A = this chain, B = another copy of it.
Amino acid sequence: MPHPMRKRIYVVAADHGVTAEGVSAYPREVTYQMVFNFLRGGAAINVLTRHGHIDVQVVDAGVDYDFPPHDRLLSMKIVRGTANFTEGPALTREQAERSVAVGIDLARAATGDGIGLLGIGEMGIGNTTAASAITTVLTDSLPNEVTGRGTGIDDASLARKITVIERAIELNRPNKKDPLDILAKVGGAEIGVMMGLVIGAAAERLPIVADGFISTAAAALAVASCSCIRDYLFIAHLSEEPGHTALVRSINLRPLLDLGMRLGEGTGAALAMHIIEAATKLLSEMATFDEAGVSQKEP
Interface positions of A (Cβ within 8 A of B):
24-27, 29-30, 33-34, 36-37, 40, 42-44, 47-48, 50-52, 151-152, 256-259, 270-271, 274-275, 277-278, 281-282, 285-287, 291-295, 297-298
- Copies of this polypeptide in the complex: 2
Complex Cα–Cα for A24 and B50 (A): 43
CB distance from A260 to the nearest CB of B (A): 9
Known: A29-B295, A40-B292. A271 touches B275 (CB 8 A): yes
B257 touches A44 (CB 8 A): no
B286 touches A259 (CB 8 A): no
Complex Cα–Cα for A51 and B282 (A): 10
Q: A42, A151, A257, A259: which has the most chain B beta carbons within 10 Å?
A: A42
A27 touches B286 (CB 8 A): no
Interfacial chain B residues near A295, Cβ < 8 Å: 26-27, 29-30, 33
Interfacial chain B residues near A282, Cβ < 8 Å: 44, 47-48
A291 touches B42 (CB 8 A): yes
Complex Cα–Cα for A44 and B44 (A): 30
CB distance from A235 to the nearest CB of B (A): 13
Known: A274-B271, A281-B51. A43 touches B292 (CB 8 A): yes
Interfacial chain B residues near A33, Cβ < 8 Å: 292-295
**Given A33-B294, A52-B274, 20 more pairs with CB closer than 8 A:** A26-B298, A29-B295, A30-B295, A33-B295, A34-B292, A37-B287, A37-B293, A40-B287, A42-B291, A42-B292, A43-B286, A43-B287, A47-B278, A48-B281, A50-B281, A51-B274, A51-B281, A257-B257, A271-B275, A271-B278
